Chain A
Amino acid sequence: DAGITQSPRHKVTETGTPVTLRCHQTENHRYMYWYRQDPGHGLRLIHYSYGVKDTDKGEVSDGYSVSRSKTEDFLLTLESATSSQTSVYFCAISDMREATGELFFGEGSRLTVL
């Protein structure tokens, strides 16, 4: 299995509080992604990174920010959590040199915003 670790795995927080999810990889892959998964929706891309300090928005980026100061770490921050951000968040990594379509996902972080 690809070396991807997400933390925390579970978090319950209150509306209006800041939340940071961490994704750590040991594969030295260049590309990292944050997705959210909700019932009735496919996986939706929030933000992605194509290198250290290089990030861009995905399909559902409003209310989220990211940072990547090291190759191995990609942080997702909810500045002021809302109930609509209750979701399962997946980090993924890829080595796009061969563009095989294979993303390696972390185990997910389940966030509940009360």
Chain B
Amino acid sequence: RKEVEQDPGPFNVPEGATVAFNCTYSNSASQSFFWYRQDCRKEPKLLMSVYSSGNEDGRFTAQLNRASQYISLLIRDSKLSDSATYLCVVHRAAGYSGAGSYQLTFGKGTKLSVIP
């Protein structure tokens, strides 16, 4: 299994639709989880962290299932402006201090196109 694996996409959905992205990770020692958003030809930006109990930010809901090593992102009422690539990011602590201990692994991303 690849370290971080995402739905290949692309997802083409109409405005107003609900869309879900899935992500699986292979390292059970992973500690923190995030979703980043990357617009076409732009830099990635943090969308939201993923907490064990699940968390919501407006139309976005993130969930974590540690037993299945699975993360999800749900977008409700899709807007044209949600069109982007969504990156699943997993953090694994290496057990020592320094930047090397902060090991982020990025998924390849899932492209979302919201259609009028």
Question: Which residues of A line the B interface, CB within 8 A?
Answer: 31, 33, 40-45, 48-50, 56, 90, 94, 96, 99-103, 105-108
Contact = CB atoms under 8 A, between A and B. Distances in A.
Contacts of A106: 43
Q: A-side binding surface: helix, strand, loop or mixed?
A: loop
Given A43-B106, A101-B34, A56 B100 contact: yes
A101 B91 contact: yes
Size bracket, chain B contacts: 20 to 34
A96 B100 contact: no
Contacts of A31: 99, 102
Interface string B75-99: 0000000000001010100000011
Q: B-side binding surface: helix, strand, loop or mixed?
A: strand
Interface of B: 4, 32, 34, 41-46, 49, 87, 89, 91, 98-100, 102, 104-109
A41 B108 contact: yes
A96 B44 contact: no
